[in-house]
A and B are shown apart, each in its own frame.
Chain A
Amino acid sequence: MARKISMKDAINEALDQEMQRDPTVIVMGEDIVGGTGSPGESDAWGGVLGVTKGLYAKHGDRLMDTPLSESAYIGAAIGAATCGLRPVAELMFIDFMGVCLDEIFNQGAKFRYMFGGKAETPVVIRAMCGAGFRAAAQHSQMLTPIVTHIPGLKVVCASNAYDTKGLLIQSIRDNDPVIFLEHKNLYAHESEVPEESYTIPFGEAAIVREGKSATIVTYGQTVHRSLDAAGALAKDGIDVEIVDLRTLSPIDTDTVIESVEKTGRLVCVDEANPRCSIASDVAATVAQEAFKALKAPVRMVTAPHTPVPFSPALEDLYIPSAERIGDAVRQTMAA
């Protein structure tokens, strides 16, 4: 049986193993070494939450602290990726994407297509996402729909340590730009993770709970809330199947459609704001591809169309809860 480690340690291990395997992999970001040029320890932090702690001691200046200049260093990572390196650039919070979005969506995402297939941009942009950390409106967003909208980007948002390690290694080896989103509320979550290196292919969802009454499609933190809801629903004889998308671009619509064809009912759960979201995208795909399989209207459980509030009392209402997910499943069962 494999040992259990946290998602945070899985990220650290994936970076460590890829840096050992491939000398062109470098890691950069604000405070990822965490003390460069300071009078105390030069690697005091190892990332704002310690995710990259210890890597500097092993790999030295292949880990680079950056100034607080997201446009410059994210752009430099993208430029370096077209010149023979495989940079992993940490954008501390995906909320900071607004500062450097041009380099991501007008530059890196477009090079391969815009240059007629003559450029490859193997860059990974790691960023924390999601609410529940009492981090308020500018450090808590689930901006997955913004990045999935952009052609040329691949988008990952894992729900556990095992998927995180395999998908991060896959991301580093991929020749397209990858937005690798890490839900900050899951950093401490532990699961069984092999010590050896392994990859998980993009575009393959995981069925994390098999069932036949209804299908829940989700990703990230709300996978766990859906599992909690499933436990309560099971007591009432409602047996839900839960699809963890894992990668949002490419998205595994085949698995979603097969599940809906089996259960006939669909609840899309998304921590993002509701309009043009992953939930609405999955709902539209099922309406187009599997309409006849549906026994009831599709239901969506999302954040409200508001910024993320600070007060814990409000933030707890903001994130889709097991209760809301359970209610949505009961509604679709009753329809």
Chain B
Amino acid sequence: MTATTTASPTRTGDNPFPLGKEDLLNAYRTMKTIREFEDRLHVDFGRGDIPGFVHLYAGEEASATGIMMHLTDEDRIASTHRGHGHCIAKGVSVHQMMGEIYGKSTGACHGKGGSMHIADLSKGMMGANGILGAGAPLACGAALAAKKLGHKGVGISFVGDGASNQGMFLESLNLAAIWELPVLFVVENNGYAESTSVDWAVASDSYVDRANGFGLPGVTVDGTDFFAVYEAAGEMIRRARDGGGPSLLECKMIRFHGHFEGDAQTYRAKGEIEDIRNNRDCIRQFSRHVREAGVISQAELDAIDADVAKLIDDAVEQAKAAPLPGPADLTTDVYVRY
């Protein structure tokens, strides 16, 4: 753990963490909600309940949570194909998300978007995105709007290690730098672009070097360490808000599931998945730290686990029972005259 003793308004006397107890409990609740949401989709997808395909965020929860805890609804995020965790951490309704993934009219996008396109602009969630790297210019646009409209909002662009090779992303680093936009570029490096290793596909050894090449400061953190993400992101977001311009944060993380559900993952090393699940689970690490510090009890965590399990059960139940969109919905929300 790399958490330091940075002063924080929410910090309490005996608490060695940069967040107060309520915030720590909220962080745990968010991470646990993402995990349960994704693990439930894993099971239900396997049963054939869910149309299309889904990309799960399980194992990566500390990144979304550690970053989003610094944001308000005025701040905008542009997410990726692996966007469920970002949505939950940004405050999108779990019920609406589940409805969307089931293709129901109660979904966040009334069933017209699906897993890869969940959005809720009222929460600052500009959309998951099926096109890798396409969100980076959009986040620059959100930051430009904040700057021109004179509010303190920031734009956060998420890409994986795969999309970090896209021209759209690299162009955005330059654009943000020369326009001095309040943007944070987050590279969620889980080691695999679908099945292709980051070690092979990314020529640079360091995302910090890559950021520096565009005139941006960059930091690499252990993305499974909630506190490391929280602190690094906090500093960069504050910098952006205060007019200090864009920066890049690489979160080195792990992916519990395949690229998409149904991926046999034979490209991974033997024993790799068991190893990361046993030794690099961000939620387990977080729980251990807060318990060992005596700040939060196991009983408190168990109570949250029970709440979350009920929430996800309820969301799935509602999604299954919800009405499908009807024929009239096919041609609404778009200019149609033909």
Tell me the A residues contacting B by CB distance below 8 Å: 24, 26, 62, 64, 66-67, 69, 71-85, 87, 102-103, 106-107, 111-119, 151-152, 154, 176, 203, 249-251
In the complex, chain A residues whose CB is within 8 Å of the CB of B110: 116-117
For the complex, give the distance between the alpha carbons of A75 and B126 in Å: 13
Contacts of B155 in A (CB 8 A): 79
- Point out the residues of chain A lying under 8 angstroms from B111, CB to CB: 116
The answer to whether B149 touches A85, judged by C-beta atoms less than 8 angstroms apart, is: yes
Please report the C-alpha to C-alpha distance between residue A56 and residue B131 in the assembled complex, in whole angstroms. Answer: 35
Q: List 27 A-B contacts (CB under 8 A).
A: A69-B175, A71-B167, A71-B168, A72-B136, A72-B137, A72-B172, A75-B136, A76-B144, A76-B172, A79-B126, A79-B141, A80-B142, A80-B148, A82-B141, A83-B141, A83-B149, A85-B149, A103-B138, A106-B134, A107-B129, A112-B334, A115-B112, A115-B119, A115-B121, A118-B120, A118-B121, A250-B337
Given A80-B145, A106-B131, A111-B127: A119 in contact with B107 (beta carbons within 8 A)? no
Tell whether, in the assembled complex, residue B168 and residue A117 are in contact, meaning their CB atoms are under 8 Å apart.
no
- Specify which of B108, B130, B139, B141 lies most central, judged by the most chain A CB atoms within 10 Å of its CB: B141
Residue numbers in B under 8 Å from A119 (CB-CB): 119, 121, 127
**B101 on the interface (CB 8 Å rule)?**
no
Residue B117 at the A interface, CB < 8 A? yes
Closest to A72 in B: B171
Question: 4 extra interchain contacts, Cβ-Cβ under 8 A, other than A111-B127, A117-B333?
Answer: A71-B168, A112-B334, A113-B112, A116-B333
**In the complex, B20 has a CB within 8 A of chain A:** no
* A83 neighbours in B (Cβ, 8 Å): 76, 141-142, 145-146, 149, 153
Interface residues in B163-181 (C-beta closer than 8 Å to A): 167-168, 171-172, 174-175, 178-179
Complex Cα gap A63–B142 (Å): 17
Output the nearest chain B residue to A71 by Cβ-Cβ distance.
Answer: B168
B94 on the A face (CB < 8 A)? no
Closest to B139 in A: A79
Pair A78/B138 contact, Cβ less than 8 Å? yes
Shortest CB-to-CB span from B265 to chain A, Å, is 28
- With an 8 A cutoff between CB atoms, is B78 at the interface? yes
B200 sits at the interface (CB 8 A): no
Please provide the chain B residues from 139 to 163 with a CB less than 8 Å away from any CB of chain A in the complex. 139-142, 144-146, 148-149, 153, 155
CB pair B113–A77 under 8 Å, yes or no, is no
CB contact under 8 A between A114 and B175, given known A82-B121, A250-B335, A250-B337: no
Asked if B266 CB lies within 8 Å of chain A CBs, one says no
Minimum distance in angstroms from B245 CB to a CB of chain A: 15
Nearest Cβ on chain B to A221's Cβ, whole angstroms: 25
State A114–B126 Cα separation when bound (angstroms). Answer: 12
Q: A112 contacts B333, CB within 8 Å?
A: yes
CB neighbours of A115 from chain B (8 A): 108-109, 112-113, 117, 119, 121, 127
Chain A residues with Cβ under 8 A from B117's Cβ? 114-115
The residue on A at minimum CB distance from B153 is A83
Q: Do B171 and A116 touch (CB < 8 A)? A: no
- Which residue of chain B has the shortest Cβ distance to A111 in the bound complex? B127
Kindly name the residue among B76, B167, B168 whose own CB sees the greatest number of chain A CB atoms within 10 A: B168
Rounded to whole angstroms, the CA-CA distance of A48 and B52 in the bound complex is: 46
Q: Which residues of A contact B149 (CB under 8 A)?
A: 24, 83-85
**A103 and B134: CB pair below 8 A?**
yes
Contact present for B148 and A79 (CB under 8 Å):
no
Contact partners of A106 in chain B: CB under 8 A: 130-131, 134
Q: How far is the CA of A24 from the CA of B174 in the complex (A)?
A: 24
CA distance A112 to B127 in the complex (A): 11
Q: How far is the CA of A73 from the CA of B122 in the complex (A)?
A: 24
- Name the B residues within 8 Å of A250 (CB-CB): 335, 337
Nearest CB of chain A from residue B82's CB, rounded to whole Å = 17
Set of chain A residues within 8 Å of B174, measured between Cβ atoms: 67, 69, 72
Question: CA separation between A119 and B333, bound complex, in Å?
Answer: 9
Q: Is the CB of A72 within 8 A of B140?
A: yes
Once bound together, how far apart are the Cα atoms of A80 and B134, in whole Å? 14
Residue B175 contacts which of A26, A62, A73 (CB distance < 8 angstroms)? A73
